[in-house]
Amino acid sequence: MNLTLETRFSRRFDLLTPIALAPMALAAGGALAAACANAGALGLVGGGYGELAWTQREYTLAQSAQGTGRIGCGFIGWKLDQDASALDWVLEQRPRAIMLSFGDPRPYASRIAASGAELLIQVQRVEQVPIALEAGATVIIGQGAEAGGHGMNALNSRATITLIPELADWLAAHSPDTLLLAAGGIADGRTLAAARVLGADGALVGSRLWATQESLAPAGAKEQALAISGDGTARSSVFDLLRRKNWPSPYDFRAIRNQLHRQWESRMDELSDQPDAARADYDAGVKSSDFSRAHATVGEAAGLIHDLPPAAQAIERMTRDAAAILGAANPR
């Protein structure tokens, strides 16, 4: 990488770019995390729902395929409350970082600190930050509603463009040494540069790295994402219900607004009461790779994604373009 973009985040984690891979469940596997780490970013394996065997396999692959020490893992907080065995196994591997989101991180703070891992905690509202700091977070990730996958619902979510500067101001006043990453809608050099201008020390990147060669997302889902604009996604609980994922309020799920989603999005009570037929339809779509029925987990940044490159190429392009934009804005 010929042009770097140095920030407090990149210096702290010995990175060549202030980018962290979003630990997307079942998509951010070992190959993608390693590719990101080798390209100079922080590679976070998507421990997600805490399946021990999957996490062991993919985290081991990530460790063996890179030599940088820039590997960590992310977990869903409320799932850890049910089973934290995958977290405990990862901590034994001495990860560079652990990311937690969607739940109270405090029950896991002491064991993460004892491992030596940095703790990154994702929030969707300013009011969540004090709890994250109490848990020992050294990095706060502000997630806007534009993000793909899980986030807060329409009643509670925030837009990245206002959430990040408000978080930056709050941290400057209350915890100035805590680093801040932006998440949600960041997929090219312009949006990475915007995150820096808004006050973030870097970005957690999901959709752009989901749509890469190393991502474990199905090929058909990636191709569908290339065909839509940012208008083509929606946030709701439709796919959580169809996938039998019992996510707690106030979280829901952004994915491509395909035919099956449109069929049920205005009939949520009916879907909740009688889901069997819709679930069978969804299951058949998954089995046949029919993404008019199966879900494709991508955010509003889909409209900025036009190819499926290797992850290293996507990271280098984002970094180079952001550095050029910021350099032009601040000529020496």
Rounded to whole angstroms, the Cα distance separating 34 from 154 reads 34
pLDDT at 67: 85
Please check whether residue 13 is in contact with residue 37, taking contact to mean a CB–CB distance below 8 angstroms.
no
CATH fit for domain 8-217+306-329, picks 3.90.1560.10, 1.10.3720.10, 3.20.20.70, 3.30.2130.10: 3.20.20.70
Strand partners, 141: 122, 181
Question: What are the contacts of 279-286 at 24+ separation with CB within 8 A?
Answer: 279/242, 279/244, 282/239, 282/242, 282/243, 285/260
Phi and psi, residue 273, nearest 5° = -75, -35
- Tens of pLDDT along the chain (332 residues) come to 444 689 999 999 999 999 999 999 999 999 999 999 999 999 999 998 889 999 999 999 999 999 889 999 999 999 999 999 999 999 999 999 999 999 999 999 999 999 999 999 999 999 999 999 999 999 999 999 999 999 999 999 999 999 999 999 999 999 999 999 999 999 999 999 999 999 999 999 999 999 999 999 999 999 999 999 999 999 999 999 999 999 999 999 999 999 999 999 999 999 999 999 999 999 999 999 999 999 999 999 999 999 999 999 999 999 999 999 998 766 55
CB within 8 A of 179, min separation 6: which ones? 8, 9, 12, 138, 139, 140, 201, 202
Instruction: Give me the sign of the Cα torsion angle 166, 170, 176, 177.
Output: negative
CA dihedral of 36, 42, 43, 47, whole degrees rounded to 10: -160
Amino acid at 271: L
121 neighbors 72 (Cβ within 8 angstroms)? no
Sequential DSSP letters for 89-134: HHHHT--SEEEEESS--GGGHHHHHHHT-EEEEEESSGGGHHHHHH
Under 8 Å between Cβ of 147 and 184:
yes
Widest CA span in the chain: 64
In the chain, CATH 3.20.20.70 covers 8-217+306-329
| CB neighbourhood size of 71 (10 A) | 26
Cβ(277)–Cβ(264) below 8 Å = no
- Find the radius of gyration of the CA atoms of the chain: 19
> What residue type is assigned to position 91 of the chain?
L
In this structure, which amino acid lies at residue 61?
L
Residue 299 half-sphere exposure, CB side, CA atoms within 13 Å? 27
Task: Give yes or no for a contact between 278 and 237, defined as CB atoms under 8 angstroms apart.
Answer: no
pTM: 0.95
Residue pair 16/318 in contact (Cβ under 8 Å)? The answer is no
Helix axes 311-329, 189-198, angle to 10 degrees: 50
Residue 309 falls in which region: left (phi positive, over 0), alpha (psi -120 to 50) or beta:
beta
DSSP 248: P
196 and 180 Cβ atoms separated by less than 8 Å: no
Say if residue 190 is exposed, middle or buried (CB neighbours under 10 Å; 0-12, 13-18, 19+): middle
